[in-house]
Structure 1
């Protein structure tokens, strides 16, 4: 309860501002406890966990980075995570998939032209990381973990605002992108992180590889 009280001062997805304790905990208590660390070094490696975080197909088109990306111990992808037909440029390996309930449903329409039909899955087991954007996502998560249909709560599109709105009344709706979250997650769980398919106006100033000290 002390941790809940602390996090209740932060807006989602970093905290539970405006949420009801029971609404959240009914879902959180269903999440199985991990039996091992999220990612482990490869047995034949040097003890370092090397990860690639892969952004959009559009930026990587023509890059021919597929083999290089798949050469990492783990590959993080988010949103559409499209690989089919673009393996030469984006690879086909997915170890960790970062998404929201909103992204995994609306992308069926937004990325239809790329042949997107569902989030990534394979028999080797992908680790799925869902970013909760509201109470509705905890209700969705509870139904998912129980294998039931969602029984309550609206499912509406949420507005993601630009950073200048941090000074306005709707500031709690502002949050990092799914790609930024994937990078945060990789930096917390990997020793070496390579970013592919991320673009900013001054991207040439920065290295695409980050090494932990």
Structure 2
């Protein structure tokens, strides 16, 4: 075995001593500040991760394989799989297929927006239009949620203190979509509810830059879409059908002598939230049925008498359903009192 040169021996000894010394110093530092060397864990994040597995509506009504919005590339396939082709509008696509195909071919996106997908655990709030929101100053609280869902042409401008500023999704139909550019929000995705063939034709005409007909609407629809096509989606009729038949137990067919009853946009918005979110809160869904003169909305001058006269919806049935959801904590109501 070759002999180690004395100079080399001294060098190795020195290196060894330095290594031992540095190890000792590092050990002392770690002992003194061990809590700073271990990555801190946010307890709130742990709690959020635990609630990530709450599938809400997907679990309740077997909706795990249902996309919330219609897509052009799998329109026919999804219709067959989920039975959309077996029902007329509004809970299917029959009598409007060709208009659906044209409209969807003009929509660049059909999935959840990227800014929504980025949240691993989605905390959502559905903001109703009820007069109970007046003077509640919930604006900052509402804006703190990951996803904020609103309905129809309920304004935020001028009401920010009570209802917030942000809007992730706005559910509407042709008669209730904003037409004034002052309400345009580049961060909002408009979700169109299709209740009749006229609704789908209206959208396909506007997306093709054609003049849309106003015939067949209960109120004059917008004649120009203030949102670009990238911000528009069409709600999958499966969700409407599940709400009507499985949540509200509406019959598949109404007698000819009885006017059909359909879910409100508010309840449909809650269903969408339960479908895509891990935690769902609501605000503005309580109404004062004891006084016909009480405020119907947080904006405008309409009173509860207008809702009581509306035969198109079953408000009592929806309030009972929401009461059950709140009781079993499927949703949390910020304006319960």
TM-score normalised according to structure 1 size: 0.73
CA contact (8 A) 2:85 2:93 kept: yes
Cα offsets for 1:39-92 (capped at 9, x unmatched): 2244xxxx3111110001512112221111111012100012222222221111
Q: Distance in 2 between matches of 1:80 and 1:20?
A: 25
5+ unaligned residues in a row in structure 2: which ranges?
Answer: 1-75, 220-249, 287-318
2:107 paired with 1:65: no
For residue 3 of structure 1, report the CA deviation from its aligned partner: 4.7
Give the alignment partner of residue 96 of structure 1, picking from 156, 161, 169.
169
Give the 3 Å change call, closer, same or farther, for CA 65–34 of structure 1 in structure 2: same
**Cα distance between partner residues in 2 of 1:36 and 1:3:** 17
Change (3 A) 1:196 1:157: same
Instruction: State whether structure 2 residue 103 is matched by structure 1 residue 27.
Output: yes
Structure 2 Cα separation of the partners of residues 119 and 170 of structure 1 = 43
**Which residue does the alignment assign to 2:262?**
175
Q: Tell me, yes or no, if the aligned pair for 1:52 and 1:196 is still in contact at 8 Å.
A: yes
Does 2:89 match 1:12? yes
Which structure would you say has the larger Rg? 2
Is 1:97–1:120's contact at 8 Å kept on the other side of the alignment? no
Q: Which has the higher contact order (CA 8 A, sep 6+)?
A: 1
Instruction: Please name the residue that 2:55 is paired with.
Output: none
Partner residue of 1:196? 283
Q: Which has the higher helix share?
A: 2
- 2:233 is the counterpart of 1:157: no
Q: What is the CA deviation profile of residues 120-172 of structure 1, one whole-angstrom value per residue up to 9, with x for unaligned ones?
A: 422x421110101111111111122222212x5833218xxxx6996422778
Per the TM alignment, residue 174 of structure 1 is displaced from its structure 2 partner at its CA by 2.8
TM-score by length of 2: 0.48
| Alpha-carbon RMSD | 3.4
Aligned length: 190
Change (3 A) 1:166 1:198: farther
1:173/1:80 Cα in 2 relative to 1: closer, same or farther (>3 Å)? same
